[in-house]
């Protein structure tokens, strides 16, 4: 090969040094922990607001269905909100509702006592207090009366079959004859002899009935104590 030919040949391209792959910087542990904690709190808050929430049973008014005796362990329950997304409250439902005023004595509020418990309650990670739980007996427009000859509550003239009552005859202590206003509920405890329910608030605004908008959700399951854990029996009031 002549010198001219060698001069005409292109020189081989110089190979550029390979750039090292850029590695993603790992977050410090404390940042990861904060991110996980915040995500968990947000998820808990969403679940509490839209799906399910836990509550104390503040008194013995729903025994034997739900236990809240002062001298024993109080039930902790889950209340689900899905049923009422598109459906209506039904007669016989066990519902949790915000105290409309004066339904809960101070000794039975069931409120957590320290700031940590209150903080956890606000995001749904601790059972809530300050609410009432009763069974729906009358809906808006229903005429509810007590009682027939057998001591049974009548709704629109039909006696209710209520096998869940602690004492079927104890309801006679407080007679009534009311028509429930639209959008409101007539609510009574299963332990009729020990339940300050709609019967005892007939002098209040609404004549003892409760605004349906105060209902948080429907009783679904008992979480605690373990020997009572399980789904709350769906025994209707029809």
- pLDDT tens for each residue of 138-164: 999 999 999 888 889 999 999 999 999
Domain around 168: 31-231
Which CATH number goes with the domain that contains 162? Answer: 2.10.109.10
Residue 181 forms part of a structural domain: yes
Residue 77 forms part of a structural domain: yes
Residue 52 forms part of a structural domain: yes
How many other CB atoms are found less than 10 A from the CB of residue 126?
A: 17
Residue 13 forms part of a structural domain: no
d(CA 68, CA 75): 6
Average of per-residue pLDDT across 204-226 = 92
For the stretch 51-96, pLDDT in tens is 678 888 888 999 999 998 777 778 889 899 888 887 899 999 999 9
pLDDT at 73: 73
Residue 165's Cβ-count burial label (10 Å; 0-12, 13-18, 19+) is buried
Residue 3 forms part of a structural domain: no
Reported pTM: 0.76
Total count of domains within the chain: 1
Residue 16 forms part of a structural domain: no
d(CA 186, CA 59): 19
Mean pLDDT of the chain: 80
Which position among 54, 134, 198, 209 bears the catalytic label? 134
Question: Which of 60-74, 121-135, 192-206 is the least confident region?
Answer: 121-135
pLDDT at 238: 45
**Does residue 134 have an active-site annotation?**
yes
Which position among 59, 61, 195, 198 bears the catalytic label? 61
Residue 12 forms part of a structural domain: no
Residue 206 forms part of a structural domain: yes
How many other CB atoms are found less than 10 A from the CB of residue 87?
A: 9
The H-or-E segment that residue 41 falls in is helix 29-50
The percentage of the chain sitting over the pLDDT mark of 90, rounded to a whole number, equals 38
More confident residue, 62 or 14: 62
């Amino acid at each position: 090969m002549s010198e001219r030919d060698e001069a005409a040949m292109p020189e081989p391209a110089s190979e550029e040094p390979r750039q090292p792959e850029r590695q993603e910087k790992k977050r410090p542990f404390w940042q990861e922990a904060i991110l996980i904690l915040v995500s968990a709190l947000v998820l808990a808050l969403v679940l509490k607001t839209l799906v399910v929430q836990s509550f104390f049973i503040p008194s013995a008014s729903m025994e034997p269905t739900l236990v809240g005796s002062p001298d024993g362990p109080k039930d902790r329950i889950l209340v689900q909100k899905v049923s009422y997304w598109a459906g209506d409250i039904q007669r016989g439902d066990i519902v949790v509702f915000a105290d409309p005023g004066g339904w809960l004595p101070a000794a039975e509020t069931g409120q957590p006592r320290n700031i940590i418990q209150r903080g956890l309650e606000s995001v749904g990670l601790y059972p809530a207090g300050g609410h009432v739980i009763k069974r729906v007996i009358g809906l808006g427009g229903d005429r509810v009366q007590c009682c027939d000859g057998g001591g049974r509550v009548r709704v629109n003239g039909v006696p209710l079959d209520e096998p869940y009552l602690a004492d079927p005859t104890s309801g006679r202590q407080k007679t009534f004859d009311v028509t429930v206003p639209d959008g409101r509920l007539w609510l009574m405890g299963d332990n009729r002899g020990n339940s300050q329910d709609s019967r005892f608030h007939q002098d209040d605004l609404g004549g003892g009935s409760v605004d349906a908008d105060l209902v948080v959700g429907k009783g679904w399951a008992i979480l605690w104590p373990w020997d009572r854990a399980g789904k709350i029996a769906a025994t209707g009031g029809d």
